[in-house]
């Protein structure tokens, strides 16, 4: 699919990876809306970059834990840009809790992580599906994590949420075919991001040590793969790991 003239929503576009994805989609020819929660400055920087690439942009404030806000966000994006061809479920929330500290992972923390990282992407896919279907070439790209493939990440709840998002990718690929493809990028440590700063140090050191390419992912690596999935006409239900090549995550 040629992305020129297409329109995308990147959730969490105020963040490090979401901002890079929005910029890459704009450079590939798409108009790009983004969502954010409270980081207005990050959202404004991304919008400015999309506009500097000659593309239309808007930001919508969205707490995706709230189903009512999701419906309102759909109206804002479709009303503002006229159509939506691509949904990138990038937004997520994490907090560093060592796996062994079960007491610290309370029901409230568990629910916040699940609602943001798993239920939110499902509700967004459900709400946008009728719009993505309209032109027969819809795309959904979910941003998961290698934490969803093996048991090491910022917390047990984060790993479980990303494992759920990976399987949701496959379920939606079946449910939404043939009009919408659904794929997933699973990054390892993405150096220089706010989220990486919240990882336990042991997780960071292990990721660096185990990467056979002797480098971990950059936000630009993730963004380039999102663009590749959006351009692909015959790929759905796939998960691509970007982690510098950790043997344990090679399947």
Ligand X SMILES: NC(=O)c1ccc[n+]([C@@H]2O[C@H](COP(=O)([O-])OP(=O)(O)OC[C@H]3O[C@@H](n4cnc5c(N)ncnc54)[C@H](OP(=O)(O)O)[C@@H]3O)[C@@H](O)[C@H]2O)c1
Supply the residues annotated as catalytic.
Answer: 158
Region 79-98 residues binding ligand X, contact defined as CB under 6 A: 90-93
When the beta carbons of 193 and 236 are compared against ligand X, the nearer one is: 193
Residue 79 CB: number of other CB atoms within 10 A? 9
Binding mask 133-172 for ligand X (x = CB under 6 A): ----------x-x---------------------------
Residue among 161, 153, 134, 131 at smallest CA distance from 65: 161
CA distance 28 to 104: 43
When the beta carbons of 91 and 172 are compared against ligand X, the nearer one is: 91
Part of the chain binding ligand X (CB under 6 A), chosen from 57-65, 71-79, 122-130, 167-175: 57-65
Q: Of these, 53, 129, 149, 187, which contacts ligand X (CB under 6 A)?
A: 187
Q: Of these, 183, 193, 218, 225, which contacts ligand X (CB under 6 A)?
A: 193
When the beta carbons of 13 and 233 are compared against ligand X, the nearer one is: 13
Site membership for ligand X, residue 116 (CB under 6 A): yes
Question: What DSSP letter does each residue of 226-240 carry, written as one string?
Answer: HHHHHH-SS--S-EE
Q: Is 182 helix (H, G, I), strand (E, B) or coil?
A: strand
When the beta carbons of 7 and 145 are compared against ligand X, the nearer one is: 145
Asked if 87 and 132 touch (Cβ cutoff 8 Å), the reply is: yes
Which residues neighbour 184 within 8 Å (Cβ) at sequence distance 6 or greater? 141, 142, 143, 144, 165, 166, 169, 238, 239, 240
Beta pairing class for 86-89 and 180-187: unpaired
User: What residues line the site for ligand X (CB under 6 A)?
Assistant: 11-12, 14-18, 35-39, 42, 62-65, 90-93, 116, 143, 145, 187, 189-190, 193-196
């Amino acid at each position: 699919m040629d992305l020129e003239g297409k329109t995308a929503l990147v959730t969490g576009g105020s963040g490090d990876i979401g901002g890079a994805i929005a910029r890459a989609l704009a450079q590939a020819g798409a108009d790009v809306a983004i969502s954010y929660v409270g980081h207005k400055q990050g959202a404004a920087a991304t919008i400015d970059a999309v506009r500097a690439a000659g593309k239309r942009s808007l930001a919508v404030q969205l707490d995706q834990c709230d189903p009512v806000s999701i419906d309102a966000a759909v109206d804002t994006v479709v009303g503002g840009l006229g159509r939506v061809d691509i949904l990138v479920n990038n937004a997520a929330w994490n907090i560093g809790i060592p796996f062994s500290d079960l007491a610290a992972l309370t029901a409230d923390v568990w629910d916040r992580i699940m609602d943001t990282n798993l239920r939110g992407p499902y509700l967004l896919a459900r709400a946008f599906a009728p719009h993505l279907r309209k032109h027969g070439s819809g795309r959904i790209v979910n941003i998961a994590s290698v934490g969803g493939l093996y048991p090491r990440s910022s917390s047990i709840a984060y790993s479980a949420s990303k494992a759920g998002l990976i399987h949701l990718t496959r379920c939606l690929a079946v449910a939404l075919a043939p009009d919408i493809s659904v794929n997933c990028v699973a990054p390892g440590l993405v150096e220089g991001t706010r989220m990486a700063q919240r990882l336990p140090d042991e997780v960071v050191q292990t990721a660096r040590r185990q990467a056979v390419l002797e480098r971990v992912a950059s936000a630009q690596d993730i963004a380039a793969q999102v663009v590749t999935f959006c351009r692909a006409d015959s790929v759905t239900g796939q998960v691509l790991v970007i982690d510098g090549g950790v043997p344990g995550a090679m399947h």
